[in-house]
Every structure is written in structure tokens, then in C-alpha cells.
């Protein structure tokens, strides 16, 4: 886990070298040649981490109990966090391999109490991947065809996966429970998750059965967050509660309300 933390720090330093301060100067000065060398090295190391995750995903003679232990291991969570940190800065890297590993990474649970990184994310690995997923599922009509096709492929992959939709729903449900105790606050995790879901529901290539299943998976968690935000303690049914309005447009409307985007 220490090695992964070091790699994350290197990625953060590279990101800072691309940022500008208020005076228009690089936030961190790094020669272009050095930055390219470091990025290439990190890119290769992330490839090795993906190989480790692919080995875990490969069929084996392990029983379900052993697989569950693997999904809770500190090394698996640290690997997912490292991959998410890198992909947030380079979302176009290893696209096909990452999509194939999404279910494994998103189903990685929170670490047992007392282990390293326990402070990082109480909802499992979902929070580590949301900044990447927000970018990789975003498509615009004016984008060049390859970029648009890649975004639509990512959206279709997630919509067709019960594991992916359940992981995001569980993440939002966990946020709703936590915020019910302290009051609603639109933190980056909720905002990223909502943006991912809006990207999915806006995707023009989505298949209707998959869209309906995705909406059914995440709608209860969204409603809980809306109730926390509005201070609704009466538990009056929302129009979505009976499942009759779970169209993509209606889901986007709820998500916009939750993120204060209104009609934007």
C-alpha cells in the first residue's frame, strides 16, 4: 500500500505541473522531458496493476468465501484507488481493460476497521473511480467520432451491468444515511455520482431494458438524498416511488434537482 501511495503522489505532482496559478504560471514547474518520462513510467506501472486485477478476475478454483476475502483485501482496494487516481488524470488510458475490470473494482468493499487506508473511503472503492467515470461517460454531439463512440461504449457497458448500477446505488444510499445525521451537503462524491448517472441517462445509444433497470436500481437512493436535502421528515411518497415515472428525462430531472442544476 505504501508503494501505491507513492505512485498516487507522483500522479498528483504530474497533475499540478499541468495546472496554472492565478498569475497564469505553472503551479509546479517541471521540465517537459521529465514530465513525459515520469508519465510514461507511471503508465507502465498502472498496466502492471491492471494485470494483477485481471489475474484476480480470471476464473479459478477458489470458493465464494475466498473470492469475498479477496474483494475485501487491502491490496485490492489500494490497487483500485491507484488506478482511479491515474485514470482521473488520463481517462483515455487502458479503456477496454478498465471497462472489463469495472465490476471487480466497483464491488471492492471498504476495508475492515484498523487497516491501512480505512480513512480514505467508507463506501468501498466507488468513490475512487467516480472522477474517472464522470469523464469517460461524458459525450458531446460536437465531439469527434472516436471520442463520442468511446463515451457511448462506456455508458452502454455500465448500463448493462447490474454490478455497476448497484455499486453506485449503494454509494448514494450510504451518503444519504450519513447526511441524514448531519444535514445535506453536496460533496464531490455525490456530485460525481450524479453526473455519471446523468451521462448514462442521456446516452443516445442506451437500450431501453438496461435504462429501466438502471433507473430502478438508483432511484431509491436518489429519492432518499432528495428527502434529506428538502428536510422531508414526513416520508410522503415521491412520484418516483411507484416506479411509474422512471424515464431517462425524469431521472435526469431528479439528478439536476439534487445537484442544484435546475434547468441548466
Task: Classify 26 as helix, strand or coil.
Answer: strand
pLDDT tens per residue across span 46-61: 999 999 899 887 765 5
Query: Cα(262)–Cα(44) distance, rounded to whole angstroms?
Result: 42
Q: Give the pLDDT score at 17.
A: 61
- H helices of 90-207, in order, are 95-106, 126-136, 145-159, 162-182, 188-202
pLDDT tens per residue across span 58-75: 765 555 545 554 555 778
Instruction: For the chain, list residues with pLDDT below 70.
Output: 1-2, 15-31, 59-72, 110-123, 142, 204-209, 232-244, 262-264
Apex 255 CA angle, 210 and 253, nearest 5: 85
Query: Cα(123)–Cα(104) distance, rounded to whole angstroms?
Result: 15
Tell me, what DSSP letter sits at residue 221?
H
Place of cell 450510504: 174
CB neighbour list of residue 185: distance below 8 Å, 6 or more residues apart = 179
CA distances 252 to 12, 150, 259, Å, are 32, 21, 10
Q: Give the pLDDT score at 199.
A: 92
Q: Give the pLDDT score at 118.
A: 40
Q: 259: buried, middle or exposed (CB in 10 Å: 19+, 13-18, 0-12)? A: middle
Amino acid at each position: 500500500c505504501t508503494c501505491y501511495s507513492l505512485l498516487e503522489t507522483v500522479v498528483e505532482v504530474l497533475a499540478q505541473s499541468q495546472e496554472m496559478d492565478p498569475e497564469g504560471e505553472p503551479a509546479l514547474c517541471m521540465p517537459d522531458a521529465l514530465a513525459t518520462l515520469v508519465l510514461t513510467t507511471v503508465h507502465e506501472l498502472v498496466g502492471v496493476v491492471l494485470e494483477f486485477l485481471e489475474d484476480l478476475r480470471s476464473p479459478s478454483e477458489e470458493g465464494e468465501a475466498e473470492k469475498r476475502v479477496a474483494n475485501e483485501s487491502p491490496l485490492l482496494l489500494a490497487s483500485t484507488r491507484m488506478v482511479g487516481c491515474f485514470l482521473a488524470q488520463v481517462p483515455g488510458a487502458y479503456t477496454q481493460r478498465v471497462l472489463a475490470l469495472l465490476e471487480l473494482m466497483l464491488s471492492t468493499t471498504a476495508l475492515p476497521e484498523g487497516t491501512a487506508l480505512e480513512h480514505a473511503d467508507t463506501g468501498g472503492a466507488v468513490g475512487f473511480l467516480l472522477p474517472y467515470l464522470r469523464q469517460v461517460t461524458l459525450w458531446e454531439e460536437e465531439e469527434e467520432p472516436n471520442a463520442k463512440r468511446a463515451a457511448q461504449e462506456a455508458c452502454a457497458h455500465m448500463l448493462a451491468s447490474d454490478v455497476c448500477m448497484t455499486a453506485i446505488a449503494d454509494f448514494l444510499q450510504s451518503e444519504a444515511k450519513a447526511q441524514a445525521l448531519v444535514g445535506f451537503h453536496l460533496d464531490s462524491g455525490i456530485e460525481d455520482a450524479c453526473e455519471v448517472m446523468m451521462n448514462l441517462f442521456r446516452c443516445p445509444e442506451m437500450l431501453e431494458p438496461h435504462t429501466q433497470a438502471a433507473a430502478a436500481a438508483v432511484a431509491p437512493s436518489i429519492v432518499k438524498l432528495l428527502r434529506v436535502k428538502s428536510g422531508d421528515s414526513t416520508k410522503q411518497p415521491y412520484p418516483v416511488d411507484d416506479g411509474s415515472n422512471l424515464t431517462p428525462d425524469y431521472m435526469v430531472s431528479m439528478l439536476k434537482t439534487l445537484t442544484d442544476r435546475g434547468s441548466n
